[in-house]
Amino acid sequence: MKRIFDLLFSILGLIIISPFLLLIATFIKLESKGPVFYFQTRVGKNNKDFKIYKFRTMYVGSDIKGLLTIGDKDPRVTRVGYFLRKYKLDEFPQLINVLIGNMSFVGPRPEVRKYVNYYSEDDLIIISIKPGITDYASIYFRDEAEILKSTNEPEKLYIENILPEKIKLNKEYLKNIGLISDIKIIFKTINIIFK
């Protein structure tokens, strides 16, 4: 049932917003050199790596300087990128991931391998299901970049404080997984974006 929901709404979503996606792609190309899309390796279902699709919001090569984005004035982020990140528009290309089948609309946000390596054996249950575009952790940590800006050691803060909370929220999702729960998370996500 979930796969049918994902398939139908990813196709419908891509058709409806395709003119908007084209507009975003044009702005990205006009502002800075490089590809429109940014592909990053994330950990998916059954601990398998996959490429996540995003609109590129940073200057090319910026990810070499660190995986975490710090605050709203990270110099690696383009002007268009700030806008896309603020309204989560950089996530739209993940509809392609949903269509392909390596992501779902709702599910634990996929982490990079570096942070999955901090999971305990018990935490690995999180990667027993497909990752999603949105989840409880995405809603709760919607201002994650701002939180990380508040410290001189953002990676330490992420590993010691944010990551354990995300793991906890993801496990909570797994306890109550279902279509009704997913629909509630989708509406909460939309509400947060428009707020």
| DSSP calls for 34-73 | S-SEEEEEEE-GGG-EEEEEEE--B-TTGGGG-SS--STT
Cβ pair 117, 89 in contact under 8 A: no
For the chain, the structural domain boundaries read 2-194
**77 strand-pairing partners:** 58
* Token pair 């249950």: residue: 125
- What's the CA dihedral at 167, 139, 86, 24 to 10 degrees? 90
**Alpha carbons 21 and 25: distance in angstroms, whole number:** 6
Q: Give tens-digit pLDDT for 80-121.
A: 999 998 888 999 999 999 999 999 999 999 999 999 999 999
Helix (H, G, I), strand (E, B), or coil: what is residue 105? strand
Give yes or no for residue 30 having a pLDDT over 70: yes
Percent of the chain with pLDDT strictly greater than 70: 94
For residue 76, pLDDT over 70 is answered with yes
Mean pLDDT, rounded, for 43-66: 89
Record the pTM: 0.89
The whole-number average pLDDT for the span 21-29 is: 97
Degrees (nearest 5) of the Cα angle 141, 35, 95? Answer: 50
